A = this chain, B = another copy of it.
């Protein structure tokens, strides 16, 4: 059960060799390399390649989407910025405060979020 080279991996996962390189460039799956630079796909990578296909098909999303999710998860600044923007839905509680105050409130909420980090895999 040694590692497979790119064409063998393509064979067993249903991706083309071309797409395997593309997926790697997206940062999604980066196989080990042999001394000579050959890509070596282990069982874990092969499994992930298969589940990746299911993920895309079942939820109708793109490789770029998954790549963006990866960026979201590894770039805390990006995650907080996007999360902050999405959280700021213009749902002013009717009579609560002037808009400037509302905005300040959102900003504070955002700052508080900044403390959060990776759950550091148990």
Contacts and interface: CB of A to CB of B under 8 A. Distances in A.
Given A65-B68, A68-B68, A44 B90 contact: yes
A47 interface: yes
A82 B66 contact: yes
Interface of chain A, helix or strand or loop or mixed?
A: helix
Q: How many of these chains are in the complex?
A: 2
Interface stretch (A5-13, A15-23, A48-56): A48-56
Q: How large is the interface on A (under 10, 10 to 19, 20 to 34, 35 or more residues)?
A: 35 or more
Interface string A76-120: 011001110111101010000001001100000000000000000
Contact of A85 (B43, B55, B86): B55
A52 to B, nearest CB: 7
